[in-house]
A and B are shown apart, each in its own frame.
Chain A
């Protein structure tokens, strides 16, 4: 789904580090997908735009999934693009699970958080380019999930192969002596496991 506008400025955190041109970023969101720890600064853009982009990314850092309130949407890898266009600010969100009932709440929370830092019109799009995979969760995000008692996604996503759910490491004691109890859990993104070592059940964010 192409995003076209007469005047498009696109940013991802740290995009400047690779020296991608703005044009290249516009053609493909994937090419400027980068880790989430750095706030954007692009010396090809005006100072006003840069300070707005920085404020937008900071605002996004305050939005969390209501069902996992410890990890923000940047750490979850859900932000596919932020652009300042002639008629407002556009945020592209790539959903974790397509049927996630929290998605509308997250979109609204993003719109509200970004609207608090700019009077411009804020549009929050749902995109599948790039498709969200569990590999998009940042290292910080993974640590926070684990501390929350939710075992982070394991392994690599492989298109052909079936996912592995056996021996998922326990988020409490790190033991791999664990059993899969149920492929589905309290939310559709989670499975339920039991740790034979510390004798606790735990949930796991599935690899997709």
Chain B
């Protein structure tokens, strides 16, 4: 067991930098998937689906804000500046969350793969030696369970509903899976974070995620693409063009006058 770290002040410089990096990855994933979720508001195939994605969008944005707030405590800019004032290359989200919302099947499948990764991550971070992070992770975990329940039920339903739905879900999985593996892109922060007991290594989280999603995908009659290669780059600021398009829209109003009071 690692020693408990009660507050950010007692972090060494190297570990503090690693925590900042980790928080950017967590926050940016949440903000961007939250924005993608919000693209279903008013467009869901049925009312409940629309409401679900709108609620999840609110949750994810709130979670992003909470992580940005921790970053702010660590000396980074305030949450609004972080969300609206950064360029695409400054974001540290994985490519999975950047991809356009696609069709309904892709959106629910992406959501399921992402929520399963969050569950794995938040479970681990709930035991983090870094107390402020462990407390937040524990809180978010309770809310994220409902997202995973939602995604899983849609994946199971559409995997078996009709030949057409099955085929669409399989294509969505073939396309999304390498991007999903990219959620666990190793970084130079892995070692300091693991050694301080703050977060497990990405490789370890990936293994847990694979064993969490495999049985559900199998139940849905879907085949995990064999030999899928992870698509990395997001954690070092290399993103699909879709992120720039998303940010151009999301940041438009803010950038007209960043000093405006709302």
Contact = CB atoms under 8 A, between A and B. Distances in A.
Interface of A: 1-2, 97-101, 128-129, 131-133, 157, 159-160, 162-163, 165, 181-188, 191-192, 206, 208
Contacts of B59: 97-99, 188
B138 A131 contact: yes
Given A98-B140, A188-B55, A191-B146, 14 more contacts: A1-B132, A97-B143, A98-B62, A99-B59, A99-B62, A131-B136, A159-B123, A159-B141, A160-B123, A184-B51, A184-B56, A185-B51, A192-B48, A206-B146
Interface residues of B, number: 34
Contacts of A192: 48
Interface of B: 6-7, 48, 51-52, 54-56, 58-63, 65-66, 73, 123, 126, 131-132, 135-136, 138-143, 145-146, 148-150
Q: Lowest 9 CB-CB distances: which A-B pairs, in order?
A: A99-B62, A208-B142, A184-B55, A131-B139, A182-B48, A188-B55, A184-B52, A128-B135, A98-B62
Contacts of A206: 146
Contact of B52 (A98, A165, A182): A182
A191 B145 CA distance: 13
B146 A163 contact: yes
Nearest to A128: B135
Contacts of B63: 98-99
Contacts of A183: 52, 146, 149-150
B138 A159 contact: yes
B243 to A, nearest CB: 22
Given A131-B135, A159-B138, A182-B51, A188 B58 contact: yes
